[in-house]
Every structure is written in structure tokens, then in C-alpha cells.
Amino acid sequence: MSEKTYRARTMKEALARVRRDLGGDAIILASREVRRRRLLGLGPRELIEVTASATMPSGQDPLFNEAADKNPSWEGAGSTLSAGAQAQFGEQLSRLHAMVETLSRQGRIDHLLPDLPGELIPTYARLVEAEVPEVLARRLVRYVADNLQPDQAGSPASLQAALCEAVEQCIPIAPPIRAVVGTRRMVALVGPTGVGKTTTVAKLAANFKLVHSLKVGLITVDTYRIAAVEQLKTYAEIIDLPLAVANDPGQMHQAIEELGAVDMVFIDTAGRSPRDEVKIRELADFMAQARPDEVHLVLSAGAAERTLRSAVERFALVRADRLILTKLDEAEGLGAILGVLGQANRPLSYLTTGQAVPDDIEPADRKRLARLILGLEAIG
């Protein structure tokens, strides 16, 4: 098993290279920050250096091939290892473990993570690979390291549970929408274009009507595109709900009155580009007239961290008090949203996991999201 060293600007980039070169099962032996001399001052001065080693698939590791030669039943990849090969493999693993410990004691693991127990390096790598922002990943691993009981350090299951718990601490949760028969509760969904607002309104409305047997009405203020009104109208017809349209903020009261005595009103709004401050202000005017009980900012879980952060910043004008994360089924590297949740300082109300109305929605659950972020659980 040979060691290889990779240098990149960020830990994430370095790990991506390791993965590309050595495969997903590669073992990270050490990582550190290095300074380099730059030609004509070009390129970054600080780089992350990662030393990794491949865990060879059986049949490719010379160690196993050697065993195969001595074992006539060997048939290449996937075959059962002989007892001798297993013993040798175990020995090699212990040597590797000892090496990591030595490196760790020498402070060569990473000065970004001083005193990090060697066992936690894969934990850190897992967070970075899940696209958790590096600063947060370091904080999480630090937290796990500081709270680890001596008997937990050697147990991967305990480490995983501790990490999961640490991630859960970063996920604020809002209770699901609470509706009371005879009391009108108004909920508006706002957010960037195409994130799934209308679909989510339809999912929520259908669930409150069909599962909770409440009287539900819909309002759309998305009158910019004919197709948008048609889209909500279609859902309203299928679910059999009254729909009112407000063309400008002044029509909001009338639209609410048109719905009559309902227990729940869902307001669907036009998608706004976070860069379009004028349109976001107009949306804020609609909200000022409607005075909804809850405003949920809808964000696509698959969006880049920068995009999510800018949406949170720009939509602050609309005073959203909760977040809905959509398209979890499409997203890769959910870790980015952890940093965004910290910035948004708003609890998560719902998660959506597909296009199907009304099924693909669930109340946000801290444990479930933490496990999804860490890749310990799959959607569905």
C-alpha cells in the first residue's frame, strides 16, 4: 500500500483529488497546511497537503496477489481471502493505525486541527466530503473530540453517533404548521425562482385538506406569468380548493375575503431573483398587506452555498421566519446548508423530497437531516 501526497488550495479540492486518483475508500493518513514559494508571486501561497493511501480492492493489492499465488482457489476480485491473506491484511491495518497515531503525536496531522485524535481524521474528511464548510467542519470535529469519552475513541459507531449529534445541534427546527378549525391561519411561501414554491404550496394544501380535514384556500400573487396562475389553478381544481388572485398589494384583503371561512390560507408568490431588490420590495409590500402568521423562505437544497447565502440575505426584507428546504432528492453534498442555517438564524419547517404532490414532503426532523447530510441515510 503506497502513500501519495496531494496538494490543493482547499481540503475539499485535495480530497476530491485523492478520491479521483485512489478511489472512495482511500485512507487519509495526514493533512497539513504548507507554504510554498511562488513563481513571480502567482498562485496561492498556502496549500493544503494531504497524504493518502489506497485501500486496494482485493485482487489488486500486491499483498493479496501474493497470497493468491499460494492459494489455487483464488479467482481475483471478490474471492474470499485465505486466512493467511487476512492475517497479513490485519497486520498492515494495525501498522497503518500506528503510523497515523505517531504522525498525530508529532503534530503532523494538521495544525489546523491541533491535538486531533487520529481516529477523527476520517470524521473530518467525511464532513468535508459532504461539503460542510471547512470552518464548520473543523468546529464540529473539535466539538466531537472535546466531548469524546475515553472508551468511545476507538469505536467507529460511537464516533459516528457523536458526530451525528454534533451536526444535529446545528439544525434549528420549527414545529409543523398548527391549524385550528375555525381560526384562520395564513402561511406564505417566498423564495428565488424555480425552487418549488408552488409545488410545495400544493403539497401542504392537499395534506391539510385531505389528512387534517381542514378548510383550505389558496391565494396567488404570482401574476407575472400566465403559466404560474394556471399551474396553481390546476392544483386548486384537482384538490378542490378555492383560489383567489391578488394582482397588486392593494387587492390582498379582497383576495382573503373571497376565500370565505377557511381554516388555512396558503399564499403562493412569484419567484424573485435575489438580485432583484425592486421585486423583493414589492413582495414585502404584498406581505405587509396580507400579514401572514408565518412566512417560509423556500430554498433548494441543491443550490451552491453562495447562492443560498445570498438568497437568505436578500429575502431578509420579506421577514421570513422559517425555512423550507426543497429538492433534497436531487441534492448532492447537503453539507452546504449547515453553514447557511447558521447564517439564516431561522428554523427549518419542512423538507421536500420529490415532485409528487402531495406525498413528497415531511416536517423537518433534526436527526433525519443530520443523517442525510452525513450520508448515513437515503431519501425514501
- H or E segment and range at residue 218: strand 216-220
Coil, strand, or helix at residue 117? coil
Span of 83-91, 247-255, 256-264, 350-358 interacting with ligand GTP by CB under 6 A:
350-358
Shortest separation between residue 15's beta carbon and ligand GTP, angstroms = 27
Placement of cell 378548510 in the chain: 215
168 binds ligand GTP (CB under 6 A): no
Do residues 30 and 51 make contact, with C-beta atoms less than 8 angstroms apart?
yes
Nine-digit cell string for 47 = 496549500
Span of 40-48, 197-205, 274-282, 340-348 interacting with Mg ion by CB under 5 A:
197-205
Q: Which of 122, 172, 354, 363 binds ligand GTP (CB under 6 A)?
A: 354
Q: Which of 76, 84, 194, 260 binds ligand GTP (CB under 6 A)?
A: 194
Q: Which of ligand GTP, Mg ion, none interacts with 193 (beta carbon under 5 to 8 A by kind)?
A: ligand GTP
Judged by beta carbon, residue 91 or residue 277, the one nearer ligand GTP is: 277
196 binds ligand GTP (CB under 6 A): yes
Rg of the chain over all Cα atoms, to the nearest angstrom: 26
Shortest separation between residue 228's beta carbon and Mg ion, angstroms = 5
104 binds Mg ion (CB under 5 A): no
Judged by beta carbon, residue 119 or residue 360, the one nearer ligand GTP is: 360
| Count of residues interacting with ligand GTP (CB under 6 A) | 19
198 binds Mg ion (CB under 5 A): yes
360 binds ligand GTP (CB under 6 A): yes
| Count of residues interacting with Mg ion (CB under 5 A) | 2
**How far is the C-alpha of 378 from the C-alpha of 380, rounded, in Å?**
6
What is the distance in angstroms between the CA of the first residue and the CA of the last residue of the chain?
A: 38
207 binds ligand GTP (CB under 6 A): no
Tell me which amino acid residue 335 is.
G
Q: How many CA atoms lie within 13 A of 119 on its CB side?
A: 16
The DSSP bridge partners found for residue 333 are none
Coil, strand, or helix at residue 326? strand
199 binds Mg ion (CB under 5 A): no
Instruction: From 125, 140, 120, 266, select the one nearest 205 (Cα to Cα).
Output: 266
User: Exposed, middle or buried, 115 (CB in 10 Å: 0-12/13-18/19+)?
Assistant: exposed
Q: Which of 210, 230, 355, 376 binds ligand GTP (CB under 6 A)?
A: 355
193 binds ligand GTP (CB under 6 A): yes
Residues that bind Mg ion (CB under 5 A): 197-198
